[in-house]
Structure 1
């Protein structure tokens, strides 16, 4: 039979005929489908007919193939309805890809909210939230599992933190508190054990948990701690347990973990940033460890941050725990707004649990005379020598490589590649200088200023540091940990020197006897809005692996850095620095004190987007970010620029909605592309 198609208001009603050769479902014959297209003007459901042979299997949340703009494209069914509001003829679904419901209503609501908040499209966010299908995994037979016993609430690892046991009791009781947690050093109370006990509290209340960490290394630590605290890994046929949701696991393992969560078989998910969307049944606790780590920010559009996605999921029935050795400015804003309670050990406990922090700046080293100018002053040598008498010693280096930057030995002009202008570097003591950009060798390099052919170092990397320490301490085991040489997970308790780049510090079995943090001025002077916060996070993460001061542990920071930053390290007070930085940003309306949107693209396109907004906002710029292109009639209109839109938080949602409408209009007209970043952690 023909199905009557309701027309748009004010238009005559039309008849929608049955598609040629296709029998349409008798009940709810229309499927609303989100097509996998990133264009903003296509960011809405489209109506398709449901063939009768698929009527029993097509339901909200399944994947389908549809005909769109002359091509077969992927799509997700979001609803089945009796009638369509479209006035024309509808096309039937091409085929059902899978009857597996991979997009539950809760996930669709979250994905839609994330797309709206970050001015993106639902299709872009779905690529982050739903892993690619693996048909063989869907065909696996999983026997029914028994319900696991509920564990008792354990809070022994939280006894040193005021408010910690109360937080766990509230989670176990089904409440939804928010907490910003400053973890004690690993040598005293491993953060993974505390996270495992928080997860146990959620499971004791009959709810699931979601733990998001920056990288696979932290995933390993978290799941090991879960097993130590009685949370078993999920296996096909078991009911409950943890799964890893990490892209590096491979497509089959990742999809199996996702299905275990979406089917309600696994009640704990541990993973990296994309796991923030994991469909955990009866979610009772969301944890974000080290939320200031840049790995938590998605590098693909629309660039959501895992911490904020978890905060959107928290609320009625879901508690939120954001923790780290440091404190992000965004978390500090939650504390000041009374949205979250701080969980921090008192000063007495901090002094007892942390190593003795020492900052050696130019003034401290002045008494050493000419030796004060050395990269490794005599005080650092003594710290390493004394520490090796009691166990392993960690040396943190902010730069990788051997000599990552060199200059003319006579006039000190930075050596650059004659082909592309990139900086030259040395990969070893006998290596030829090579360009850091194009990789070309510069065997016949000659200084353009004075004609000299000799080179000297102006930056020392981890490889050169390890070479120097190996000569200075012969007979001592030397270990390297970096992306270049491989990141070590742990080192034995014996006497050894460990040279690691920032973020690659391995855990010592019994804690490091000492840590020397080199080139502090390099870490603190890197460009970016969060430079101070990032530097303190790196230093505290390394110092947290050192034994407490009561056991002789010491952490030495070498280099001139701003006094507030040095004071935060010496006092072990990341909350104080976060409070100071937030106040400074509030004075100039920078995030997170104010809402910020970054527009990047050609000058004409960026200006058109800014001019098309109706919501009142403060526009900073646009400022050039690169040279004007050659060979165009008006190079200034095509010059790449950046503009900032500053808005008070109460008007943020209205601005982003207005921005989304402007982008959709430009997309439909195929006008110039503008890259949009909403709530960026950095504007550099």
Structure 2
């Protein structure tokens, strides 16, 4: 019998059990093999563990919207952590080209997403050139949010990260941050008791709940304090809160209200006006967990608040909430995503109500927060109207553009305090409306705005169809008239009409934040109205047709929102506050202003959108570009089977000296645009199809001589 050990015969042949012999041979073979050398790149040792870094590079082109693998040098092993900023050589994908190592490639910025053991790329990898800072600024949560936003808007991850992560400032990064303040006590509901479910909403926040609400605020300045109380209730539960407002002035008001409730250091203010260093320092304090409450403008929608418990967006209809940089995200949609992903509370507040807000309530995703009619009547000013018939019979209106009723209200108001005069912005293009009832003229096929061409025919501005037999769908009339354009010399005319009264202006050149409560005329463009100490004694809203006649789906909604924003600054009717709106009183938005019923107006608008198949009931994308490029692009898109294409139609060319609006071609450059809409449920498929086609086009350098095509999902302005 042989033992368990293998034996060697005289001729050198091994004997023993086959399994034992196989193990011996394997051990001998390994002992004879040369020892493996450490992994290196160009002679430098690489990290022993997880030597591959996956990087998202700062290249916003769609065909590069993926991660790229780089080798991690040993000297960068300790600082090359997920989330840090890095610099890499980028060219041919940041890797070596076939047949040898690549020496070229420009240094570009990027973010290290993760470290892995192996790369799926079989060739040698280029190495990380530099770790810019050991500060991990891109958390997994922020990365996932940015990816979701990029996919929703058919954009690239790099473009979203440019909006989400502020530029680095070394001195701000080196500053130390302390521990977060202890949670404050739950606040007294205060004026939230004026709203039917307001007290319950705050109680739910303080107990750790995640309610979702659409809040119709009462007129007056209390909205900032009410927002601050909602934030304090959330902080009392040990969670964080985020408030996004459309501009710096409302941000300052919420900032002051939070400081009054929480004290200094209890929250961060993220606005572009703060400057790069301060903004980055505040942002880092939020990311590090030293601050749990944030108020800011548009870019703050991505603020990395830890343990997020509440997101708030104020005045979601303001254009300041829609980013004009690719991929053009909207604050409301991003915060809806965050509320869903983080399972936190959501509060959408405004004096008015957009159709998107109404849809959130109608779908059951959010509940309404509104005061009863008695509370509304007690807080709102008296609203009076001046229609076209009154203007035709009013000699003062023809002579000075100020109707007699408005002149009397201004005169009486100046005895008690400042008077606000809202004047539409200059430059609105005249459009057509029914001569009898002033209903905007719309296309029978797609409900787009009709415009008169040089030859006299009517043509739709959305689908391009010619209209040869138009008649008004509201009253049956057959005659058209041009809508009125904005006023140009209002301040001078008012100065002549009231020579002893100071006249202040607030607009694009200079926007006033506040004005004293002494008698004065304050002439302002929509959205630039300053807050008056103690409220305005009266307000006059001139030339309503300048806003109502805009060729846009949101014309009436936007006009009502602008009017409500100005009227909310006027004293209550019990204190003599009066508002005069110069617009046809039978029109729906005028009636909504008189009754102070923005929710009812939004619900009726939503019902009409549903009937016509327009957003937000459907999802829509605008495809614009040079003449001929748009049809060629759409021919290559694998659109969903239920997609409908409207157009393309020529784009209006921007007038010299006027800022370009959504959908307009640059001055002197002819272009065209098509609208693509899909029913609910197909929005993600539409965005994916457009993104895929756009990525393929950019990878080819664009066909037709490199012509650029721009895609915007859910455009705010489709007029």
Q: Same fold (TM over 0.5)?
A: yes
Counterparts of residues 211-610 of structure 1 (less than 5 Å) = 211-229=243-261, 231-234=262-265, 241-315=266-340, 316-364=342-390, 368=394, 375-399=401-425, 461=487, 464-484=489-509, 486-560=510-584, 563-610=587-634
Q: Which residue of 1 aligns with 2:458?
A: none
Counterparts of residues 164-175 of structure 1 (less than 5 Å) = 164-175=198-209
**1: distance between equivalents of 2:555 and 2:682?**
28
Q: Which residue of 2 aligns with 1:86?
A: 121
- On the 8 A contact 1:596/1:680 being kept in 2, the answer is yes
**2: distance between equivalents of 1:369 and 1:477?**
26
Does the C-alpha gap of structure 1 residues 373 and 178 become closer, same or farther in structure 2, counting only changes over 3 Å? farther
- On the 8 A contact 2:385/2:585 being kept in 1, the answer is no
- On the 8 A contact 2:181/2:290 being kept in 1, the answer is no
Q: Which residue of 1 aligns with 2:182?
A: 148
Note the C-alpha offset of 1:604: 4.3
Q: Which runs of 5+ in 2 are unaligned?
A: 1-36, 92-104, 431-483, 654-668
Indicate yes or no: 2:195 matched with 1:161.
Answer: yes
Note the C-alpha offset of 1:373: 7.3
Note the C-alpha offset of 1:603: 4.7
Q: Which runs of 5+ in 1 are unaligned?
A: 1-14, 235-240, 406-457, 628-637
Identify which of 11, 23, 46 aligns with 2:68: 46
**1: distance between equivalents of 2:168 and 2:709?**
31
Q: Which residue of 2 aligns with 1:432?
A: none
- On the 8 A contact 1:397/1:500 being kept in 2, the answer is yes
Note the C-alpha offset of 1:59: 1.2
Q: Which residue of 1 aligns with 2:18?
A: none
- On the 8 A contact 2:83/2:137 being kept in 1, the answer is yes
Does the C-alpha gap of structure 1 residues 293 and 177 become closer, same or farther in structure 2, counting only changes over 3 Å? same
Show CA shifts across 1:272-321 (max 9, x none).
11110000011111010000001100001110001110110003431111
- On the 8 A contact 1:233/1:243 being kept in 2, the answer is no
- On the 8 A contact 1:519/1:558 being kept in 2, the answer is yes
- On the 8 A contact 2:180/2:292 being kept in 1, the answer is no
Q: Residue 480 of structure 1: SS of its match in structure 2?
A: strand
Q: Which residue of 1 aligns with 2:135?
A: 100
Note the C-alpha offset of 1:148: 2.3
- On the 8 A contact 2:220/2:379 being kept in 1, the answer is no
**2: distance between equivalents of 1:159 and 1:567?**
28
Note the C-alpha offset of 1:157: 1.7
**2: distance between equivalents of 1:404 and 1:18?**
66
- On the 8 A contact 1:355/1:548 being kept in 2, the answer is yes
**2: distance between equivalents of 1:37 and 1:196?**
39
- On the 8 A contact 2:400/2:493 being kept in 1, the answer is no
TM-score, normalised by the number of residues in structure 1:
0.83
**2: distance between equivalents of 1:592 and 1:612?**
26
**2: distance between equivalents of 1:623 and 1:371?**
39
Note the C-alpha offset of 1:655: 1.9
Does the C-alpha gap of structure 1 residues 560 and 47 become closer, same or farther in structure 2, counting only changes over 3 Å? same
Note the C-alpha offset of 1:404: 12
**2: distance between equivalents of 1:639 and 1:473?**
47
Q: Which residue of 2 aligns with 1:658?
A: 689
Identify which of 107, 111, 131 aligns with 2:146: 111
Note the C-alpha offset of 1:528: 2.0
Q: Which residue of 2 aligns with 1:19?
A: 41
